[in-house]
Amino acid sequence: MKKTSTRLADGRELIYYDLRDDTVRTAADRRPLDRTVTTSEIRRDVLLGDSVAIASHRQGRTYHPPADECPLCPTRGERLSEIPDSSYDVVVFENRFPSLAGDSGRCEVVCFTSDHDASFADLTGEQARLVLDAWTDRTSELSHLPSVEQVFCFENRGEEIGVTLGHPHGQIYAYPFTTPRTALMLRSIAAHKEATGGENLFDAVLRRETADRRVVLEGEHWVAFVPYAAHWPYEVHLYPKRRVPDLLALDEAARTEFPQVYLELLRRFDRIFAAGDGGRGAADEPRTPYIAAWHQAPFGALEEFDGVTRDDFALHLELFTIRRTSGKLKFLAGSESGMNVFINDVPPERAAERLREVASS
């Protein structure tokens, strides 16, 4: 992997990650952009104990542009974009309309490929490995920023999810606090550790989950399963078999196997509904909308979590779709949005069975 860092016309950082070591990146951003001005602010909710990012400048962000005006495609001739060069493998750059900025953290965009019509599932193993290396490198770099306490790499795919740019891409949020979801896990780890005399909760969960009939696929170094208490109709958790706190701690064997396992998992997600979903799907069903989210240990202090260390946390990826069957979405209505109590219409055992059924030949 070759890494080349440069600056866009408004001062934002852009980084090329290339498969070839002899690739030269010298193209300049020719757009007449003013310096980016953001109004991001973090406000604390004292009743719920969580935080909200107020970012009014995001109202003006690019919204469903036509394909020939996509800002994530390479620059071609006089069609100027966020990426100055005429081609790329993987690119990461500071978001022009960030939810977090300055002392409130940082937001970055990760473009997985220059092919506008592709999806992550279409990448080769070599390309997917390059994305993993980019995620890892950004996690390392962002963790050293004084305002950053947790790094979150994720992908939103599909208009149903709320994606406004169709180009295959993800994002990285560097939060100035430990997120509520992670804090819940850390408190559960602490309680289990105390109740069992030191047993790691993630180890216990992984033993239970992989012993049941909800395993979707398994490699030598990774295992994917539908969790016992899945919140979403089709939800899969992907774990390295050796517990590590973050992407930085993955060994070479796990990195090498990751593309094979993850790409197969994504391709199965695309086949769930197109293949029929129990006879109700359609051959022309659009690609499955999903969210893919990496859970990593925070880099900030953990004193409030009663003896929990970063090494007690287990890196894992959560992949889920809001589609519950062909042509129907799972909406977060009163119970989910108002009380944070999920109601799942698809039994996790059936979801796992379905994902096994659509395995490639």
Residues that are catalytic? 169
Task: Give the full edge-to-edge strand order of the sheet including 222-225.
Answer: 2-7, 13-18, 90-94, 106-111, 169-175, 150-157, 290-295, 316-321, 234-240, 222-225, 215-218
208 by DSSP, 3-state: which?
helix
106 by DSSP, 3-state: which?
strand
CB atoms within 10 A of CB 1: 15
Beta strands in the chain (DSSP E): 2-7, 13-18, 41-45, 50-54, 90-94, 106-111, 150-157, 169-175, 215-218, 222-225, 234-240, 290-295, 316-321, 323-325, 328-329
Q: Are β-strands 169-175 and 215-218 bridged in parallel, bridged antiparallel, or unpaired?
A: unpaired
Distance between CA atoms of residues 236 and 82, nearest Å: 33
